[in-house]
Amino acid sequence: TQLLEQSPQFLSIQEGENLTVYCNSSSVFSSLQWYRQEPGEGPVLLVTVVTGGEVKKLKRLTFQFGDARKDSSLHITAAQPGDTGLYLCAGGATDKLIFGTGTRLQVFP
Amino acid sequence: NAGVTQTPKFQVLKTGQSMTLQCAQDMNHNSMYWYRQDPGMGLRLIYYSASEGTTDKGEVPNGYNVSRLNKREFSLRLESAAPSQTSVYFCASSLRMNEKLFFGSGTQLSVL
């Protein structure tokens, strides 16, 4: 069974702080997607990484896919209250997409 | 742009009752999915339809049935609701299987 573990589960920080969220597995994935979900809404795709070692930046968010394509990280610089939400990683395998359990981030003004 | 529309937004059922959750997408996507989301368990795939005319079981299909009515619509039916089916249900669609999913806003279902 392929599992994606995310850490930390919960994170509460002040506006302006930096943070990193991790997504780890013992399995190799062909791609890794990151979604953000706000309360009462469905997840929204932020980015897809497909190459081992790949780094993608989306404004203050930096996504990295591990060299072995088993893990990924999301780094947020100078977090803002608008970054509050549930962050989900999802690993693409041959015929399935496996979602992690999520990291719930709250950024206080 | 409507994207993925699912109804209803909220539903309360008694054990044993049946209901159908409706989902429609207007992006001409080939693949559609039904997920359930429970605290601490992430998103789990119930059923999916890789393309119009096909449906397949996901990770947790027991107690559910689906119909891909046409390319736009994919419904999820609970024939005899159980308290274990209390959850938030999401419909999603994508142009290609498992790539860039677009989600609806969810249905919060409580089974008493």
List, for residues B10-58, the tens digit of each pLDDT value: 999 999 999 999 999 999 999 999 999 998 778 999 999 999 999 999 9
pLDDT along chain A (109 residues), means of 10: 85 97 92 94 95 94 95 96 96 86 95
Name the minimum distance, in Å, from the CA of A93 to any CA of chain B: 9
pLDDT given for residue A2 in this prediction: 63
Residue of B nearest to A93 (CA): B98
> Nearest CA of chain A to the CA of B103: how many Å?
5
Residues of A in contact with B39 (CB under 8 A): none
- Shortest distance between the Cα of A1 and any Cα of chain B, in A, equals 11
What pLDDT is recorded for position B72?
97
Q: Count of H helices and E strands in chain A? A: 0, 11
**Residue of chain A with shortest Cα separation from B100:** A45
A85 CA to centre of own chain: 11
* Chain A CB within 8 Å of residue B104 CB: yes
Using a CB-CB cut-off of 8 Å, the residues of chain B touching A9 are 40
- Inter-chain residue contact A42 with B92, CB threshold 8 Å: yes
Among B99, B100, B105, the residue with its CB nearest the CB of A42 is B105
Report helix, strand or coil for A82. helix
Q: What is the pLDDT of residue A93?
A: 81
Contact B42 A100 (CB under 8 A): yes
Provide the pLDDT for residue B71.
Answer: 96
Cβ-defined contact of B43 to A48 (cutoff 8 Å) = no
CB-CB neighbors (< 8 A) of B42 in chain A: 88, 99-102
Q: Mean pLDDT over all residues of chain B?
A: 95
In terms of pLDDT, which residue wins out, B89 or B1? B89
Query: Is the CB of A44 less than 8 angstroms away from the CB of B106?
Result: no
- A39 touches B: beta carbon within 8 Å: no
Chosen for mutation from B101, B105, B107, B108 (greatest number of chain A CBs closer than 10 Å) is: B101
